[in-house]
Amino acid sequence: MQGFEMLHRGIINETELNMLLRALDIMPFWRDKLTQMAYRRLTRVDIRRMYGVGVLSETEVYEAYSELGYNERDARRMSDFTVKQILATQSKFTARDVITAYSKYMITRGDARTLLSEVGVRDENISFIISSAEYKREWELTESRISAIRNLYKKRVYDENVARGKLLALDLASPRVDSLMEQWYIEDKDEPPRYWTTAQTLSFIKEGLITADRGRLELSNIGYDAEHINIYMEASK
């Protein structure tokens, strides 16, 4: 109706709009109601933004959704969603943060359930999310233990039998243990041999810890030719 458009643009006021409605033979019972309906409602984006900056309270958020035409149930749902969404946005706190903290033993299972609910995770999904985090945490712990066993095996602290026993104690399947041991064996064989440095070799010769022949062999392994070896051997006397 053009009268409502003129009201919105400030061309006429409510009194003048009422005069127009009367001229159009609108019954008095309907005039106030039509006037109230003439004003635009807040959009969903408006509601979220205004709640985010504190202009609307939670009650006013619910009322605003009701005025948009939502029934009581859906208006409450939209209100709860808006409040939780703004809370998560402003706090920068997400379900991922909760799961990370739980996986690192920083919070209890009960704390995780409460926090996940507060950031908007549905109750029927919370148990699955927490259980998945527990499985992942256990897998990561097992992988860390495998890595520790590997390091001790490569440092010769564990021999093959001890390393295999430690792996089996983790409840790993035999094929997995066999695969790991084979992989570590190949890695060990592929590593280049370690040699003493030139200074170490000459020092060991002087101190009588190794023979001159052994010293010559070590210098040769490092890459020196006969001329350089002879000079080093003379200098070490």
**pLDDT band for position 200 (cuts 50, 70, 90):** confident
Task: Say if residue 122 is in the same domain as residue 83.
Answer: no
Could you report the per-residue pLDDT of 147-157, keeping only the tens digit for each?
Answer: 999 999 988 89
Based on the domain organization, do 115 and 133 belong to the same domain?
Answer: yes
Q: Which domain holds residue 74?
A: 2-90
Could you give the number of structural domains in the chain?
Answer: 3
Q: Which residue has the higher pLDDT, 14 or 206?
A: 206
Lowest average pLDDT, out of 90-104, 121-135, 162-176, 188-202, goes to: 188-202
Asked if residues 195 and 182 have their Cβ atoms less than 8 Å apart, the reply is: no
pTM beyond cutoff 0.85: no
Specify burial of residue 81 (Cβ count, 10 A radius: 0-12, 13-18, 19+): middle
Mean pLDDT across 50-64: 89
- Structural domain ending residue among the three candidates 37, 59, 90: 90
Does residue 7 sit in the same domain as residue 62? yes
Residues 148 and 113 in one domain: yes
Among residues 190, 210, 226, the one where a domain terminates is 190
Per-residue model confidence (pLDDT) at position 125: 92
**pLDDT at residue 177, as a whole number:** 94
